[in-house]
């Protein structure tokens, strides 16, 4: 067959199968027996044939596209998740259709409807949105292969960390250093906010209760998961008559803001007020921040691999993979006796 371009029809004719079977065999999709898959691969290699995306999608009825629904795109946590996801899907030749929907506590209008997705994507990934939102439940219930990150829902594969344990670990570290007046920089007080903050609050209070202590609401302020919000929250805590000797911030970015507030008040992070965050942000080492590090990019990779497995096999594994976290101690936390 020299002198012209080899097509999927040529491979199908010589292998004695349909073009759809050629597409499925060469893409590793299910419902092709081993002997047929080997025969197709051998013919394709002999003809020096490489399947084209357009031919494959036409034959298989697939779009080759995955929708990703995320509250934010530019924030470090979500950008790092997306990087991990893309590293897996790009290697599989899958395109991404990205929906940045914003803060769901403000509006859910940008969360795509089934009508916007049906026929445009083969599968769906939802990143750290409140699973109880009706719009999110509608997405999960579409019947498409789906995978979740940083959230859980019944009968849906997901990848996350144990946020309760991450917060307990961070708070226990402060308790082990002898701190008693421990402040909390929480996230968003909205009832439709991300469930992660509720879990981290439970971990924080569990550590205090385990030490025979209770949380003083006066030593709490909301930082809304931003650097600027963390700075404002720390300023509020510093204005209290009983200033905390240590602070747990529910995210590294809020901890960064808290550090800036301390510096603007002439105080030294660690030496005057200890601060611990959660995330393992790239900048945490630069600012000498003690943090509970989570494998953010790996969360994205694990969830993307789970989705690809569904696309390959047609089977949805009802599994939640909980990835480990690690306390990384730096100079922002010191024993209370040095304060």
Per-residue pLDDT of 69-107, as tens digits, reads 999 999 999 999 999 999 999 888 888 999 999 888 778
> Residue 16 sits in a domain of what CATH number?
1.10.260.40
For residue 268, being part of any structural domain is answered with: yes
Q: Which domain holds residue 14?
A: 8-60
Distance separating alpha carbons of residues 307 and 144, to the nearest angstrom: 10
Whether 99 and 150 share a structural domain: yes
- Tokens, residue 296: 């953010």
Instruction: Report the number of distinct structural domains present in the chain.
Output: 3
Whether residue 167 is found in the same domain as residue 290: yes
Local confidence band at 39 (pLDDT 50, 70, 90 cut-offs)? very high
- Average pLDDT on 259-288 reads 98
Higher pLDDT among residues 314 and 137, named by residue: 137
3-class secondary-structure state, position 148: strand
Q: What DSSP letter does each residue of 67-107 carry, written as one string? A: EEEES-SSSHHHHHHHHHHHHHHHHTT-EEEEEE---TTT-
Which tens digits make up the pLDDT trace of 225-236?
999 999 999 999
- Both 174 and 261 in one domain: the answer is yes
Select from 39, 26, 80 the least CA-distant residue to 299.
80
pLDDT digits (tens, 9 = 90+) for 133-144: 899 999 988 889
CATH number at residue 285: 3.40.50.2300
**Cα–Cα distance, 239 to 262 (Å, whole number):** 12
**CA–CA separation, 160 and 152 (whole Å):** 8
Give me the residues paired with residue 67 across strands: 97, 124
Q: How confident is the model at residue 3 (pLDDT cuts 50, 70, 90)?
A: very low
């Amino acid at each position: 067959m020299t002198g012209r371009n080899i097509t999927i029809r040529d491979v199908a004719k010589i292998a004695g199968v349909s073009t759809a079977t050629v597409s499925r065999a060469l893409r590793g999709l299910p419902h092709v027996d081993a002997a047929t898959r080997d025969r197709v691969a051998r013919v394709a290699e002999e003809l020096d044939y490489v399947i084209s995306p357009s031919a494959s999608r036409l034959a298989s009825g697939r779009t080759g596209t995955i929708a990703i629904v995320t509250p934010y795109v530019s924030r470090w946590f979500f950008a790092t998740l997306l990087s991990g996801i893309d590293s897996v899907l790009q290697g599989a030749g899958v395109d991404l259709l990205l929906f940045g929907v914003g803060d769901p506590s403000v509006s859910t209008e940008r969360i795509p409807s089934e009508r916007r997705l049906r026929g445009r994507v083969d599968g769906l990934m939802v990143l750290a949105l409140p699973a109880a939102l009706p719009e999110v439940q509608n997405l999960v219930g579409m019947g498409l292969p789906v995978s979740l990150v940083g959230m859980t829902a019944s009968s849906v594969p997901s990848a996350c960390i144990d946020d309760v344990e991450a917060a307990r670990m961070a708070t226990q570290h402060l308790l082990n250093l002898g701190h008693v007046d421990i402040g909390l920089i929480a996230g968003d007080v909205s009832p439709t906010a991300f469930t992660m903050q509720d879990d981290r609050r439970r971990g924080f209070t569990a550590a205090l209760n385990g030490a025979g202590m209770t949380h003083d609401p006066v030593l709490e302020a909301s930082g809304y998961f931003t650097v600027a919000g963390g700075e404002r929250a720390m300023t509020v805590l510093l204005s209290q008559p009983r200033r905390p000797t240590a602070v747990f911030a529910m995210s590294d970015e809020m901890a960064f803001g808290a550090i800036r507030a301390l510096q603007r008040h002439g105080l030294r992070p660690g030496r005057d007020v200890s601060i611990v965050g959660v995330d393992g942000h790239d900048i945490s080492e630069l600012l000498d921040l003690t943090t509970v590090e989570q494998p953010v990019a790996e969360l994205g990779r694990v969830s993307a691999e789970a989705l690809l497995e569904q696309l390959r096999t047609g089977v949805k594994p009802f599994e939640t993979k909980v990835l480990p976290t690690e306390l990384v101690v730096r100079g922002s936390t010191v024993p209370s006796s040095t304060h």
